[in-house]
Amino acid sequence: MKTLSTIIAAGAIALTLSSSALAGPVGVSRTYATQPDPQTISELRQASDAAQREARNGNKDNLAFGRKSYQIDQLIGRMQSGQPVEQAQIDDALQPVRVW
């Protein structure tokens, strides 16, 4: 019984000492947020305009193109207001509309 309590005590001490080493850095974001860049905003506006043109030209799925244009416009607004925007969101906005 003494051996079991010694093993448990040693495990508790080892866990206590190693928990700070296993923890991640505090206050560091895991995602990459980008600052507003005039070139990126210009590319996003072009993508929004292209999606809007496709919606107006009578494409078979107009709602998807309109939704994409709205999504890009919201992203531009967030970038210009100074909110952090992830690079993955920008990459997704620049992708063409997928109509299945």
pLDDT tens series, the chain, 100 aa: 678 788 887 777 877 777 665 565 555 555 555 567 788 889 999 999 988 888 787 666 678 888 888 999 999 999 888 888 888 888 888 888 877 6
Please indicate, yes or no, if residue 5 is contained in any of the structural domains.
no
Contact 99, 64 (CB under 8 A): yes
Could you give the 3-state DSSP secondary structure of residue 34? strand
Tell me whether residue 65 is in a domain. Answer: yes
For the chain, the domain total comes to: 1
Structural domain includes residue 18: no
Beta carbons of 42 and 76 less than 8 angstroms apart? no
Residue 72 maps to a domain:
yes
pLDDT confidence of residue 59: 61
Q: Which domain holds residue 87?
A: 32-94
Residue 62 lies in a domain: yes
Answer yes or no: is 60 within a domain.
Answer: yes
Domain membership of residue 74 (yes or no) is yes
Q: For position 27, what pLDDT does the model report? A: 57
Asked whether residue 66 is domain-assigned, the answer is: yes
Q: Is the pTM of this model over 0.75?
A: no
